[in-house]
Amino acid sequence: MSSSVSHSLPPKLPPITSLPWSSSQQIQSSHPQHPPHHHSLPPTTTSYSISPTPPSSSSSLTTPTSSEAILAEKRRRNAGASSRFRERRKQRERELQERVLYLEQRVQTLEMALHQYDPDHPQLASSKDNRASSSIIQAPHHSSSNDLSNRVSQLETLMTRFRQEKETDSEKLTLLERENRYLKSLLESKKRRFSFLTPKRAISFFFPFFLTLTSLPTSLYPCTCSMGLKYRTYLDGTLIYGCAKCKTHLTTGDAIESRQFQGQHGQAYLFNYVVNVLQGATEDRNMTTGMHSVRDISCEKCMTTLGWTYVKAYNEENKYKEGKFILEKRLLIDVK
């Protein structure tokens, strides 16, 4: 019967190894009422669906092969995953080491800048202590990237704050210097204005005002009238220096000791004596040649400040100036 009937398998369906050809022949022999025909082939799907595969026989044949393949595949995948994990970990370690080196260099740069700005800053002392302790312990990991980042940010914040404080202090210092110069100018102007008010001069200055408030005898002359120049000293000589404003005699050319002095208005002369001047209060001044005790001198007639006189010199080299007078050339005139 097997020689008379031949069945061709479909090309796209795999062969069923669990069902031998003997079983199909037995099934065909058990149904004699449907004899096979040479020219008409029965559907092959009916012969495969009649005999299902026993579960015991298939499991006994395929289980050992599939478990070994699964284990081999698992080993291969685990090995690949392990190698990739090791590569990623090495790459991450290299990146962290590079980041640590960069942060350490940045910290050193900021510490050097802080040391130049403030060598005694407590942050520098703490960093030195940390370095000493780390060198003694010799730990494999000095610090994490987060700690270094926080430290760098702290140092940058400190530098920014120090820079802002420095700018603010410089602005305050400039403002204080301006106020100091302004107050000094006001003080000098007030001193010059009231330097002539000695007790004797104050009486002669305010006495006419008091006389107008009281009744006076008719025999007295009015004190507000000008007394002229008869109480002032007149000098003789070829060169007479006087006040540039009112031409009052002050000194002569023979009294000049030096022409190498500087006043507030330029060149000034050092004289042995002067006349017809008023002296102000004694005060200490720090000049180019050192500290001196001086008095301002002003014209007796027009009250113009002409210079100063040296009362005391604190330096031995300047003792020759004591008792002598400085008159500024711009405020003098040749009186003839």
To the nearest 10 degrees (0 to 180), the angle between helices 55-117 and 122-137 is 130
Instruction: Give a yes or no: residue 330 inside a domain.
Output: yes
CATH number, domain of 245, equals: 2.170.150.20
Indicate whether 26 and 111 sit together in one domain: no
Instruction: Give a yes or no: residue 219 inside a domain.
Output: no
Which pLDDT band, with edges at 50, 70 and 90, does 327 fall under? Answer: very high
Instruction: Give a yes or no: residue 191 inside a domain.
Output: no
For residues 193 and 278, the answer to whether their CB atoms sit within 8 Å is no
Amino acid type, 328 = E
CA distance 84 to 64: 30
Instruction: Give a yes or no: residue 284 inside a domain.
Output: yes
CA distance 118 to 333: 58
Instruction: Give a yes or no: residue 323 inside a domain.
Output: yes
Structural domain count of the chain: 3
Q: Which of 91-105, 134-148, 160-174 has the lowest mean pLDDT?
A: 134-148
CA distance 84 to 69: 22
User: What is the rounded average pLDDT for all residues in the chain?
Assistant: 73
What pLDDT score does 205 carry?
58
Amino acid type, 44 = T
pLDDT at position 222 over 60: no
pLDDT at position 288 over 80: yes
pLDDT digits (tens, 9 = 90+) for 59-74: 444 444 688 889 899 8
Q: Which of 295, 302, 291 is nearest to 324 (CA)?
A: 295
What pLDDT score does 120 carry?
79
pLDDT digits (tens, 9 = 90+) for 187-213: 887 666 655 556 655 665 555 555 444
Domain that holds residue 102: 58-153
What pLDDT score does 207 carry?
56
pLDDT at position 307 over 90: yes
Residue that the structure tokens 């005790």 belong to: 293
CA max distance for the chain: 186
Instruction: Give a yes or no: residue 149 inside a domain.
Output: yes
pLDDT digits (tens, 9 = 90+) for 92-139: 888 888 888 888 888 888 888 887 888 777 777 777 766 665 554 444
**Other beta carbons less than 10 A from residue 24's beta carbon:** 18
Indicate whether 131 and 73 sit together in one domain: yes
Instruction: Give a yes or no: residue 6 inside a domain.
Output: no
Chain-centroid distance, C-alpha 252 = 62
What pLDDT score does 208 carry?
55
